Amino acid sequence: MKSFSVLLGVLLETMKVQARDAQGNLVIDVNTWYPLEDYLQAYKKIDSLLGGRGLEKVGSIVPQKAVFPANIRDIRSALASIDVAYHMNHRKDGKDMFNPVTGTMLDGIGHYAFQAVEGKNEAHLVVSNPYPCRFDMGLIKGMAQRFEPQATLTHDVSAGCRHKGASACTYVVQW
């Protein structure tokens, strides 16, 4: 979020963050869980102030900061792991949404469904979650480019778009 330092105070207020540093500035407490609704309001604020590219930038930062499963070794396993990582980094009713010991995943916040394209350096992700479409574009592209810096992402709008009322978006990653 340092890239957005000018907006940071506004975003933290939007997220209802209460913690402050020694200078009295709002700061995120890394040991606190924040309601998803507050994050979604912050993303709406980013969209209104910076537009879709701002949301993509924020999404692209997530793969650098979020907890991911340990078995990631290449672009395919990275893209396939996004759904598990997504659930690892969310709680519902105070409960972790993914238990790495048992492999149990709770439903209720949507999914990132990974589909490899056989014989090609290509994968499709069908995403059904409450996050903005452009945020997910940044997240998926950022994850892909961790392993394949030249990877590209295309939004297959012919399959529908959450921004336009569909239940899911489909993204095509090629490398």
Q: Quote the radius of gyration of the chain (alpha carbons, Å).
A: 16
3 state SS of 65: helix
Model pTM score: 0.88
Q: What pLDDT is attached to residue 169?
A: 98
Q: What pLDDT is attached to residue 168?
A: 98
In the predicted model, residues of the chain with pLDDT beneath 50 are: 1
Q: What pLDDT is attached to residue 71?
A: 83
Question: Distances in Å between the alpha carbon of 19 and those of 4, 26, 39?
Answer: 19, 6, 16
| Domain locations in the chain as residue ranges | 2-174
Q: What pLDDT is attached to residue 106?
A: 96
Q: Which CATH class is domain 2-174?
A: alpha beta
